[in-house]
Structure 1
Amino acid sequence: MAPYESDDNTNEDLRTGRRKAARYVVPVAVLGVAAATIGLVPAFAGSGDPDLPEVTAQRLIEKIAASDVQQLSGTVKISTDLGLPNLGGLESSLGGGMGGGDDSGSSADPSSKLMELASGTHTVRVAADGEGKQKLSLLDKASEYSVIHNGDEVWAYDSASNEAYHMKDASAGSAEKGGKGGKDKSEDMPATPKELADEALKAADDTTSVTVDGTAQVAGRDAYKLLIKPKGSGSTVGAISIAVDAKTGLPLKFTLTPASGGAAVVDAGFTKVDFSQPAASTFEFSPPKGTKVTEGDELTAQDKGEARPKGGEDLGKELEGLNVIGEGWSSIAQFDTGGEGMPSEDSGAGDAGRFLDSLGDQVTGKFGSGTVFSTRLVNALITDDGKVYAGAVTKDALVKAANAAE
């Protein structure tokens, strides 16, 4: 079945779309979000915005879930500003142990290379042809880093170091056999508006307001804007805006703004997009002559399932002793490290203690004392007796949770 073309589909089309949603990342449960949570006011185009048919937030979420875009190519611009401190010459002061010259790994390993997307502004070229062929390229001024998934082969190549990383995808299934390739290491870090939108929609429960906020044009395509906001106070998340392609239902742009205001924490959107089939050569790769090739572990179905936690319950199984305080956007993860907290200057840790003290804020309360390490989105309180409280919440919310736990 083709993706939703407009909002005058038949009831049978809608039922079919809901059944198809089970095949994709957005949980079917999202389609049943309570009416009190979903804004029922349809979108209206503002001055200069595309004039599109009215749509409700519930209908727009259904369009995202039913989207069946299998083939595309395009360019995505990703800007991330978590407000992390500038570590300056820390690497060299530690003797260069974090440099690329470490023989224990490969500079082309996706699990570390794609973490670069967590800060700064990057241009990423993406392409897909079904579930067995994907390519993601991180572009720099003078180099390119690519991850290519083609059937049961996964390659990553770093042109700057002329290194490649190779894995076998043991659980890949061909389109002809109806199989479904799973996740590869390139998907550990969400790098497209759709992946980011999928994660955000998992939080659409009764602690969330979901409305339609007009229309826009992204990468030359008409889109609706879905607005997601926490209902309560205490969260560092201000709002999430998702631009949804009016024709295909594919998220084209994702913007997360903090409750504190200012620039977006994450802003990822297509600047160019094409839904025609990419050339077969796009997904072909052979290491250039002289390339250092590192063979990675075989990527099995179990690995794919564990590549990224699906939610709070799965994460809780991974972290022994994890306790979740509160719910929704203001929830706080709490666990005990069993240690003595972070080293500080007062504890006699010397230069290392002074450096860590400079990164955090010292706080006290009924729980005792500790240090809050802050970004513009996620904050963490580490108490002097080794307890950790972390979440997308304010410093005051962390201190309150620590006091209540005593």
Structure 2
Amino acid sequence: MAPYGSDDSTTADETDDLRAGRRRAARYVVPVAVVGVAAATIGLVPALADSGDPDLPKISAQQLIEKIAASDVEQLSGTVKITTDLGLPDLGGLESSLTGGGSGSGSGSGDGSSADPTSKLTELATGTHTLRVAADGEDKQKLSLLENAAEYSLIHNGKDVWGYDSGTNEVFHATADDSDGKDKREEVPATPKDLTEDALKAVDDTTSVTVEGTAHVAGRDAYRLVIKPKDSGSTVGQVTVSVDAKTGLPLKFTLTPASGGAAVVDAGFTQISYAKPAASTFDFTPPKGAKVTEEDATAAPERHSGGSRHSGGFSGEEGFAPGGPGGPEGLDVIGEGWTSIATFDTGGQGSPSGSEAGGAFGGFLDSLGDKASGKFGEGTVFKTRLINALITNDGKVYVGAVTKDALVKAANEAK
């Protein structure tokens, strides 16, 4: 299979055109109402592919980015599967205790609801899941997470956002007004298109973009767009996006780590239709006897403008804007592009064993990391296959999609 445009790697002269293309791409989102997991921790199992690669006209990387930008798909329905391989240990029920509850835990701690979308974060962060998605413009989306003996649905219809956990018969309801509704729907990328737009935000002169062959994805002919960091030090090996040759909609998204092995994120439709979903798809009435929890409007800005969308972003430019919604107050960014590192000061002791977590729990966290030392002093590096973080003993934090060595170097240079 000969690659299309294999010599079409971006250069500095093409950077402005690529940036213009990705800005236009970012406006053509088909939002799916899902909240709760970082871009870097969502993965969809590879889509079912037909045998053989389609014979399509040659296209350049710039043309394919423009095709994504021009995509006007607003109506679709389909099935996806989600798998995430960050290399995290099995923490059992620990995640739920940290996030205040989860599916099957009833209301969890406090007054939370298992139907609150944020309670699904830890479920999607590991393992394999099957989703059904549907969209009809910007005001109607539905995502259903199919579980062993239950189903969780998140529905956006006009100004209403509903979450329903059939396992606990709990309902969560929020109102999406003109000021915050869009932010709620776009906090977390849930489709290959959402993930692709996040990846395109990282395209600059530190990035190579090529078109490498074609593929069949969910019965559709597609081009394969390959995005790679040029600089060493990033944990990202490459991002591969299969783009519908006819509609320009990204159908599959795969993020491969620089360390090799299985993909960290692999997003693809197994089935897709561009027909208009029935209006009834987005109707929802709380079932009889269900416990209904209304969103606390006073808490909504903090929760929905938090770092969930940005904490796993590919570029510090977007996800780690200093002082912005991507992180805590005082957050700064070192470097640019794929090797950017977010840093902030906790204002206290950095070692988990000496933090508020304290005691045995803090020791447990310490056991998950690797000790590190340098001009900065001593600290602990917590690693996944994509995002790594260095927490120094004096409370400084350095985090990014970069290697341990890059974090240590950044900490040393900051002294």
Matched AA of 2:171: A
1:231 Cα offset (Å): 0.2
The letter of the residue matching 1:339 is G
Residues 32-57 of structure 1: per-residue CA shift (max 9 Å, x gap):
xxxxxxxxxxxxxxx92000111000
The verdict on how the C-alpha distance between 1:92 and 1:232 changes in structure 2, with shifts beyond 3 A counting, is: closer
For 1:78 and 1:372, how far apart are their aligned partners in 2? Answer: 28
Name which of 322, 325, 343 aligns with 2:334: 325
For residues 3-402 of structure 1, what are the structure 2 equivalents within 5 Å? 23-25=27-29, 48-88=52-92, 90=94, 99-100=105-106, 101-171=108-178, 182-183=181-182, 185=184, 187-297=186-296, 306=305, 308=309, 311-312=318-319, 314=321, 316-318=323-325, 319-344=328-353, 350-402=359-411
Match of residue 404, structure 1, among 388, 410, 413 = 413
- In 2, the alpha carbon distance for the partners of 1:384 and 1:19 equals 40
Report the Cα distance in structure 2 between the residues aligned to 1:326 and 1:155, rounded to whole angstroms. 40
What residue ranges of structure 2 are gaps of 5+ in the alignment? 1-20, 31-50, 311-316
Describe the SS at the equivalent of 1:316: coil
Is the alpha carbon distance of 1:222 and 1:304 closer, same or farther for their aligned partners in structure 2, counting shifts above 3 Å? farther
Aligned-residue CA RMSD (Å): 3.2
Deviates more, 1:383-392 or 1:17-26: 17-26
Q: Distance in 2 between matches of 1:155 and 1:92?
A: 21
CA separation of 1:388 and 1:184: change in aligned 2, threshold 3 A: closer
Conservation of the 8 A alpha-carbon contact between 1:368 and 1:383: yes
Pairwise CA distance, 1:352: 2.9
CA deviations 1:180-199 (Å, max 9, x no partner) are: x9426454322111111110
Counterpart AA for 1:55: I
Does structure 1 retain, via aligned residues, the 8 Å contact 2:22–2:197? no
Q: Relative to 1, partners in 2 of residues 1:260 and 1:88: Cα closer, same or farther, differing over 3 Å?
A: same
Q: Offset at 1:354?
A: 2.8
Given that 1:81 and 1:120 are in contact with CA atoms closer than 8 Å, whether structure 2 keeps it comes out as: yes
Checking the alignment, whether the CA contact within 8 Å between 1:171 and 1:301 is kept in structure 2 is no
Please give the alpha-carbon distance, in whole angstroms, between the structure 1 residues aligned to 2:374 and 2:64: 45
Q: Distance in 2 between matches of 1:262 and 1:211?
A: 22
Cα distance in structure 2, aligned partners of 1:93 and 1:124: 25
How high is the TM-score relative to the length of structure 2?
Answer: 0.79
One-letter code aligned to 1:82: L
* 8 A Cα contact 1:156 1:166, kept in partner: yes
Q: CA deviation at 1:320?
A: 2.4
Paired residue type of 1:61: I
Paired residues of 1:110 and 1:186 also in contact (CA < 8 A)? no
In 2, Cα distance between the equivalents of 1:390 and 1:19? 26
Q: How many residues align?
A: 361
Give CA deviations for 1:304-339 in whole Å, capped at 9, x if unaligned: 994755914645334322221111111111111110
Change (3 A) 1:329 1:243: same
Structure 1: gaps spanning 5 or more residues: 1-16, 27-46, 173-180
Letter in 2 for 1:127: A
Deviations 1:318-369 (A, max 9, x none): 4322221111111111111110112438xxx542343122110011111110
CA–CA distance in 1 between the matches of 2:158 and 2:150? 26
Whichever of the two has the greater Rg, that structure is 1
Give the CA deviation at 1:302. 7.8
* Contact persistence 1:242–1:255 (CA under 8 A): yes
How far the C-alpha of 1:122 sits from its partner, in A, is 1.1
Q: 1:4 maps to which residue?
A: none
Contact 2:320 2:332 in 1 (8 A): no
In 2: Cα distance, 1:23 partner to 1:361 partner: 41
**Cα distance change of structure 1 residues 300 and 171 upon mapping to structure 2, 3 Å threshold:** farther
SS at match of 1:372: strand
1:168 positional shift: 1.7
Q: Secondary structure at the match of 1:183?
A: helix
Aligned residue identity for 1:393: V
Contact 1:380 1:389 (C-alpha < 8 Å) held by counterparts: yes
SS at 1:311's partner residue?
Answer: helix
